[in-house]
Amino acid sequence: MRHLIDPLYFSVQETEELLDIADDICDNMDKYSHKCDGKILATLFFEPSTRTRLSFESAMMRLGGKVLGFSSASSSSAAKGESVADTIRVIDYYADIIAMRHPKDGTAFRAAQYSTKPIINAGDGGHHHPTQTLTDLMTIRRRHGRLDNLVIGFCGDLKYGRTVHSLVKALARYKGNHFVFISPKELEIPRYIIEEYLSKSECTFEEVTDLSAAMPNLDILYMTRIQRERFDDIEEYERLKGSYILTPVQMELAKTEMAVLHPLPRVNEITLAVDDDERAKYFEQAGNGVYVRMALILSLLGMGKLDVNKVEEDHDVVVEHSGVCKNARCITNSEDETMPIFVKGDNGRVRCKFCDQYVD
Ligand code: NCD
């Protein structure tokens, strides 16, 4: 059995095979309409969602399967204090595959420790969102015909934006990509992404604050919302929320074949006037979410090209560490029964296995 907790749970080849299936589904939807007859998907959403949950549900229905689940923590037994582990051990009896979203970093990894069914991480706090990455990769590949040798600008909240973390990790496995991280200092990309994934990749990167100056070189501009719900200090959010607003004036600086992506929802970071630009691809991107999630469900249920018996490769070395994780938003700090696991990556630094935060 395989899970999708982090984009690197699938190799580059497995990811591309999944995207090939998604492309085929897009062109030949009818071929797939009974593939999941009799199967059930559970969507466990402890945090708000429009696109991710509904595209998962649409995907399973379009495959002929059925769906059950909940769309907020308040309508589940989490509101009574039930742990993630217990919830998963029960849902395992009710469904064949589980997509879950939770406000705490590391929750999907926690669920996978207990599940006998494939777990799909549909967003764990500010940590990862690998199915959005599949959507993003499909959209980029359809636009540029490749996933290497691209200049990709990430703009906005790179600290808490889980879609950014997952997409950077996925694209850093391709040769010749150049990442331009455009953010205020307070919202810069987490250091573990740079130290453990970018510095040993065949890609380059720069960290800047000026969006207009970056525009002319970009093949992709990935805009993000400032993640209000993840701020401890609401005044800091208020100060940073208008940091970047993409307008037609800035679009004039960009290449004609550039594409603007955004995982959505947008708040104010892209003006409505940009929607009329041919390069605005964020609604098409949201539509692609159904095809990749259909391909993912098929793959994890053993009906794609994915070898579901392959054992995940894990290069992390577990180390003894007596402390607790320093990340207040980590699942290990919110459920007493979740024992932290600390690991040492290639750079020798110790970090939490659940949320990737460094402990030193
Ligand atoms: C994103 C998310 O939930 O992380 N939305 C999505 O899934 N498409 C982005 C966001 O909420 O800003």
Give per-residue pLDDT as tens, 159-187. Answer: 999 999 999 999 999 999 999 999 999 99
Nearest CA, atom 6, ligand 1: 263
Confidence of residue 262 (pLDDT cuts 50, 70, 90): very high
Q: Which of 46, 135, 230, 264 best tests ligand 1's pocket when mutated (most atoms within 8 Å of CB)?
A: 264
Q: What's the rounded mean pLDDT across residues 237-265?
A: 97
Nearest atom, ligand 1, residue 129 CA = 4
Q: How confident is the model at residue 313 (pLDDT cuts 50, 70, 90)?
A: confident
CATH number for the region 131-283 comes to: 3.40.50.1370
Residue whose CA is at the smallest distance from ligand 1 atom 1: 263
The answer, yes or no, to whether any atom of ligand 1 lies below 6 A from the CB of 304, is no
**317-360, which class in CATH?**
mainly beta
- In this predicted model, what pLDDT tens digit does every residue of 321-349 receive, in sequence order? 888 999 999 999 998 888 899 999 778 89
Residue 76's pLDDT is: 81
How much is the pLDDT for 312? 76
Whole-angstrom distance, CA of residue 173 vs CA of residue 331: 28
35, 39, 101, 281: the active-site residue: 101
Q: Answer yes or no: is the C-beta of 132 below 6 A from any ligand 1 atom.
A: yes
pLDDT at 348: 86
Structural domain boundaries in the chain: 7-129+287-300, 131-283, 317-360
Query: Which CATH architecture does the domain made up of 7-129+287-300 adopt?
Result: 3-Layer(aba) Sandwich (3.40)
101 is catalytic: yes
Comparing 7-129+287-300 with 131-283, is the CATH topology the same?
yes
Judge whether 51 counts as a catalytic residue.
yes
- The tokens for 86 are 């217990």
- Taking only the tens place, the pLDDT of each residue in 56-68 is 999 999 999 999 9
Confidence band for 194, pLDDT divided at 50, 70 and 90:
very high
**Strand pairing category for 119-124 and 342-344:** unpaired
What average pLDDT does the chain have?
Answer: 95
pLDDT tens digits for range 98-134? 999 999 999 999 999 999 999 999 999 999 999 999 9
**Percentage of the chain lying above the pLDDT 70 cut:** 100
Mean pLDDT of 224-250: 95
Residue 80 bears catalytic tag: yes
Q: What is the mean pLDDT of residues 247-276?
A: 97
What pLDDT, on the 0 to 100 scale, is given for residue 74? 85
Mean pLDDT of 11-33: 97
Model pTM score: 0.97
* pLDDT at residue 238, rounded to an integer: 95
Active site residue 87: no
